[in-house]
Amino acid sequence: MNGTTKADQLSSKGGAYTGTGKQGQNEFRKDIGSYASTSPFFVKAFDALRLGERTGPIIMIDAMAGPGKFGLDIRKTHHNSPNSKTKIWLAFNDIKKEPLMKINEEADKRGEDPYATIQCDICELNTAEDMRFIGKVDIVTVRYGLKDLPKGHAQVALEAMRQTIADDGMVLVADMFAKSKEGQYGVNLVHAKKQELAGRNEQREGVCHIPTLEEWQVYFLEAGFKPKFIYGTTSDVNTKNWTGQFVEDVSDPGDFKRIAMMDDIIKVACARHPEFQTEFQVSFASAHREITLKFPIFVMVGEKA
Ligand SMILES: C[S@@+](CC[C@H](N)C(=O)[O-])C[C@H]1O[C@@H](n2cnc3c(N)ncnc32)[C@H](O)[C@@H]1O
């Protein structure tokens, strides 16, 4: 592919976002409830996979996996469930090598065999070299990944996932959404700033796009999936929860400075797009640096149309 990826070809600002925030695996979003395997968001997603109905081995890829927590939590919950008749064979995808290596370093510490890894742009999952050894899979999951891609890329990613799964397979997306276009302008502004402060190069990697639910449904349909909405809720965030996402060392004062910059951009977004403040329930406590937001999140599954 003469050095350019499918994502590169999609837009003049193409490329893919490779930032994850800076904190280590054990710290990963530990203060944000929707990442917990006990959260209703996780439980609804897990139930939607209907793993207990499957009898043969389940081949599953957790895509845009970062530290792999979503796939690992699904596997563990299934294996601990009295309803499980079979095991999950789990593989991880990420565009970066480091998170994939880290997943296997952690697995090694737990005494587990290494997991298969597919290091590639999600938009090219179906043609990735590593996929040749895996073949068709039953399930591809992606949590909090697709919204980081530039506009136009999520459909291509879903199409690549569809090509990767077997005819009776399923894709599961658990991610953020905007309720209205005005809310979308606000959240895109805020989320793009957060990623820029965490090191995203907008010229090279493009800008994130958080779709509305209608857009998500269209993406599923365009990629050849029957979309089924499973669950909607909010992920409640205090901007202080972002401590550690912008620097390697949390004692670095640059972290505090960047969270203050995030607080400012949230105020700007609310002033420019008042619907954003209502929709994301942005609240400002009287003390400085007490901003809370409720990000709408959803779970959607798709079977091949
Ligand atoms: C927010 S983190 C993922 C969190 C993780 N899915 C979870 O729920 O715990 C996003 C991840 O997507 C990866 N990523 C970004 N662009 C990608 C792309 N085009 N293809 C594959 N992975 C990508 C990043 O390297 C990062 O590890």
Q: Model confidence over 157-176: pLDDT tens digits?
A: 999 999 999 999 999 999 99
pLDDT tier, 24 (very low <50, low <70, confident <90, very high otherwise): very low
Q: Ligand 1 site: residues with CB under 6 angstroms?
A: 7, 16-18, 20, 64-67, 69-70, 93-96, 99, 121-122, 143-145, 148
Domain borders along the chain are: 6-177+204-233+298-304
Taking 60 as the threshold, does the pLDDT of residue 260 lie above it? yes
How many whole angstroms from 85 Cα to the centroid of ligand 1?
30
Q: Model confidence over 122-137: pLDDT tens digits?
A: 999 999 999 999 999 9
The beta strand positions in 100-136, using DSSP E, are 116-119
Cβ neighbours, 10 Å, residue 71: 25
* CA proximity to 216, closest of 184, 255, 250, 263: 184
pTM for the full predicted model: 0.91
Mean pLDDT of all residues in the chain? 89
**Euclidean distance between CA atoms 282 and 296, whole angstroms:** 12
Q: Model confidence over 218-242: pLDDT tens digits?
A: 999 999 999 999 999 999 998 988 8
Which CATH number describes the domain made up of 6-177+204-233+298-304?
3.40.50.150
Question: Length of the chain, please?
Answer: 305
Taking 80 as the threshold, does the pLDDT of residue 30 lie above it? no
Select from 9, 92, 127, 148 the residue to mutate for testing ligand 1; criterion: most ligand atoms less than 8 Å from CB: 148
pLDDT tier, 256 (very low <50, low <70, confident <90, very high otherwise): confident
pLDDT at 286: 63
